[in-house]
Structure formats: C-alpha cells, structure tokens
Amino acid sequence: QEPLTVSMLAAAPLHKQKQMIGERLYPLIYNVHTQLAGKITGMLLEIDNSELLFMLESPESLNAKVEEALAVLHA
Amino acid sequence: GSSINWPPEFHPGVPWKGLQNI
C-alpha cells in the first residue's frame, strides 16, 4: 500500500479525508490495542490532517498520541 | 440517563461519521 500523501487527501472531500486516514491509522493501532483500536482511532481522527499524516510516517509520534488517547479513555 | 457517545468509534470500511456535522 503506497503512503498517503497530502495531494491524495486534497483530492478527496473533507469527510472522506478522515476516512482515508482512519483506514491507515486503524491497522497500526489494532496491532497494539486490539480491543480499543476503534475508539482510539476515532479520537485521533479529531487531530489535524497534517499532523495525522505525519503520525502515519512516524511510529514514535503515533505511539505518543495513542498513549495520550488511552489516558483520556481511562480517565 | 445521559449516555456519552464519545469517542466515536472508527470501523474499517465503514464511512466515518465522527465529523459529519462540519
């Protein structure tokens, strides 16, 4: 699967952009947090698309955000 | 009671509804 790019996203309508990012994000999160992957992905999709794209390329950033999301979920 | 439906859950292959009110 080729990486998601800004231009690919820009060609899609706004709601579809989040969908496209979610489809990439979900499997990454599912690998680590199978039970909560749907909720964590839903939370992370509220982040700006530009940052989400960066997170898809940066496992460290993604993990940090996932941990933040988990902390909020458990609060 | 007041059910809090947050966060919205993402399901692969299902159209994302979390931001449909924008």
What is the Cα–Cα distance from A18 to A20, expressed in whole angstroms?
Answer: 5
Per-residue pLDDT of chain A (75 residues; tens, 9 = 90+): 788 999 999 999 988 999 999 999 999 999 999 999 999 999 999 999 999 999 999 999 999 999 999 999 988
Chain B residues within an 8 Å CB radius of A42: 7-10, 18
Rg (alpha carbons) of chain A, rounded to whole number: 12
**Token pair in block for residue A66:** 């996932």
**ipTM of the complex, rounded to two decimals:** 0.84
Question: pLDDT tens, B1-22?
Answer: 555 677 889 999 998 887 554 4
**Among residues B18, B21, B11, which one has the least CA distance to residue A43?**
B18
Q: How many CB atoms lie within 10 A of CB A20?
A: 17
Rounded to a whole number of angstroms, the distance from the CA of B6 to the nearest CA of chain A is 8
- Residue A46, classed as helix, strand or coil, is coil
What is the Cα–Cα distance from A33 to A15, expressed in whole angstroms?
Answer: 25
**Token pair in block for residue B7:** 């966060």
Chain B residues within an 8 Å CB radius of A45: 10, 16, 18-19
